[in-house]
Amino acid sequence: MEELEQLDELLDCWDSEEPRNVTPCTVVIFGASGDLTSRKLIPALFRLYLGKQLPDPFRIVGLARRDKTDESWRQELRAAVEQFARQRSIKESQWAAFEKLIFYCQGDLTDPEGYQALKKKLDDFGDERLSGNLLFYLAVSPSRFTEVVRRLSEEGLVNKQAQEVHWQRVVIEKPFGHDLRSAQQLNREITECLHEKQVFRIDHYLGKETVQNILAFRFSNAIFENLWTREAVDHVQITVSEEIGVGTRGGYYEESGALRDMVQNHLLQVLSLVAMEPPVMLDAEAIRNEKVKVLRSIRPMSAAEVDRQVVRGQYFGGEVNGETRLAYRSEGRVGTLSNVETYVALKLYIDNWRWSGVPFYLRTGKNLPLSVSEVRVQFRPVPNVLFAANPSLRVDANSLALRLQPDEGICLGFNGKLPGSNSRLEPVLMDFRYHTSFGAYTPEAYERLLLEAMAGDSTLFIRRDEVETAWAFVDRIREVWGDRALSNREFYSAGTWGPEAAETLLNQGGHQWINPQKRRKKSKG
Ligand code: BG6
């Protein structure tokens, strides 16, 4: 217990920040009984409450079909917070104060009565700010997004025109469409009822501290930004690997696959932050303008290039860290002959002044040996003279690894001379770790994202043109894959780094994947 309290003290370091300027409001969660609500949203709101980041007054209303009372929902959430919140030791008094802000409203998303009941609940708070300033969080099936937005508008709960006195915003979870056409249609439908400024499309990677730090790192350090060009960079590797398989999400995954589930959003978002030009200022539109330019500059691929530059894979049985894993085709709600990819590796080029000719390699997969998200910038090798001309010496090219999770940090690789009279070289690392410099915790992505949405800052959310451009890229690849069955060489054993072809993809360019390593908790003294 003592240990837990110490952890919580560390957490409190993060709470000493100036609160964000958020006006009193109500957060309304559609899909109140769902997993996202109990695992992420309520624990994040609880942390924000403890960190005194929420406005006063403030309310949370959950809407779902099941029959519950405020009291029974609060009890459920209490158990969820104990299980999932960063705060491990929950003080009775803290929870008692927080739960007073939570209310439940029974209603069906398809039934106007549910919206009327919601309206009444909001009015009963007896404060115009709580019934007027509304953040709707759609943690519901994507097939319901349009309907909910339309009904909110019909019932007068959101207003596209008048946002001067009170504001209403809608947070939309991923997946935002399943291809370009459906994303465009969804955009058209929701923007009939909402202004683009009221739409907050989530990509939870943008809520991660380390992902935000990509911009801070690039644009507050002259030495690195000067090297961020085709003259100095040989290639870039972006890896988002996961130890987990698809688990209970087989049904969803059969419809999405790794390309739609991870590449269309998280990997392309990280890519755009790594490759973008400096924005003219640090506001939402300036940053998103630059990000979308990167996505638009990705060189389109012909069918032959897709075949050469994109590798897909699917796991069969194996072991991940000593645990036996089923083949994807044996997972629940997965077709026994499914050709859905659980792994993608690809090479792309960004055809702009800065990056012309520099390959960017992206890969992601499930049931890989480690869960790591990392960006690795490999610099050009030194010329083949002096040390490099000596075949008995190992001279590695410099690298810069931005470790997004876990063991968040930044690591610069260079060569050092081994002490002694010989002239042997050894690759060494200069290592910055968040937890040693800034303390053990960084805020959960959802804490930051909820707060930004309440504050009305859409920098960390995806704009309409970003989402559509990303779909266009992914659609092209899917179109070439078509219904083609997976070949034997496209399978990989669970617990390995993916199919052979992913290695070949890099070898062809004279490169190789640098697989992230498991890190020790503390750096050597
Ligand atoms: C989600 C995907 O968006 O991101 C999941 O749907 C994936 O399949 C998850 O597991 C990964 O997120 P994180 O934060 O654990 O890297």
Q: What is the DSSP string of 215-283?
A: HHHHHS-HHHHHH-STTTEEEEEEEEE-S---GGGHHHHHHHHHIIIIIIIIIHHHHHHHHPPPPSSSS
Scanning the structure block, which residue is given the tokens 């000596």? 390
Greater confidence (13 vs 232) lies with: 232
Question: What is the distance in A from the centroid of ligand 1 to the CA of 488?
Answer: 27
Question: What is the distance in A from the centroid of ligand 1 to the CA of 84?
Answer: 16
pLDDT tens-digit readout, 451-462: 999 999 999 999
Of all protein residues, the one whose alpha carbon is nearest to atom 2 of ligand 1 is 261
Q: Which atom of ligand 1 is nearest to the CA of 252?
A: 6
Greater confidence (151 vs 421) lies with: 151
Residue from 201, 242, 260 whose mutation best tests the ligand 1 pocket (most atoms within 8 A of CB): 242
Question: What is the distance in A from the centroid of ligand 1 to the CA of 261?
Answer: 8
Of all protein residues, the one whose alpha carbon is nearest to atom 6 of ligand 1 is 261
The pLDDT of residue 438 is 86
Residue from 36, 202, 204, 446 whose mutation best tests the ligand 1 pocket (most atoms within 8 A of CB): 204
Catalytic residues: 266
pLDDT tens-digit readout, 480-491: 999 999 999 999
User: Alpha-carbon distance 419 to 360, whole Å?
Assistant: 36
Confidence of residue 164 (pLDDT cuts 50, 70, 90): confident
Which domains are delineated in the chain? 2-173 (3.40.50.720), 207-507 (3.30.360.10)
pLDDT tens-digit readout, 291-320: 999 999 999 999 999 999 999 999 999 999
The pLDDT of residue 309 is 98
Of all protein residues, the one whose alpha carbon is nearest to atom 5 of ligand 1 is 261
Residues with CB under 6 A from ligand 1: 174, 242, 261, 373
Question: What is the distance in A from the centroid of ligand 1 to the CA of 395?
Answer: 37
Of all protein residues, the one whose alpha carbon is nearest to atom 9 of ligand 1 is 262
pLDDT tens-digit readout, 349-359: 999 999 999 99
Q: What is the mean pLDDT of the chain?
A: 93
pTM of the model: 0.94
The pLDDT of residue 1 is 42
Confidence of residue 237 (pLDDT cuts 50, 70, 90): very high
Confidence of residue 440 (pLDDT cuts 50, 70, 90): low
Of all protein residues, the one whose alpha carbon is nearest to atom 13 of ligand 1 is 205
pLDDT tens-digit readout, 26-40: 999 999 999 999 999
User: Alpha-carbon distance 100 to 86, whole Å?
Assistant: 21
Confidence of residue 210 (pLDDT cuts 50, 70, 90): very high
Question: What is the distance in A from the centroid of ligand 1 to the CA of 56?
Answer: 33
Least confident of 12-21, 126-135, 200-209, 244-253: 12-21
Least confident of 79-93, 98-112, 200-214: 79-93
Residue from 210, 239, 261, 363 whose mutation best tests the ligand 1 pocket (most atoms within 8 A of CB): 261
CA angle 518, 521, 522 (to 5 degrees): 125
Q: Is the pLDDT of residue 2 over 60?
A: no
User: Alpha-carbon distance 297 to 272, whole Å?
Assistant: 10
Break the chain down into helix, strand, coil percent, rounded to 5.
Answer: 45, 20, 35
Mean pLDDT for the stretch of residues 267-282 = 97
Mean pLDDT for the stretch of residues 403-421 = 93
Look at strands 134-138 and 25-30 and give their pairing: parallel
Look at strands 233-241 and 372-379 and give their pairing: antiparallel
CA angle 159, 164, 170 (to 5 degrees): 40
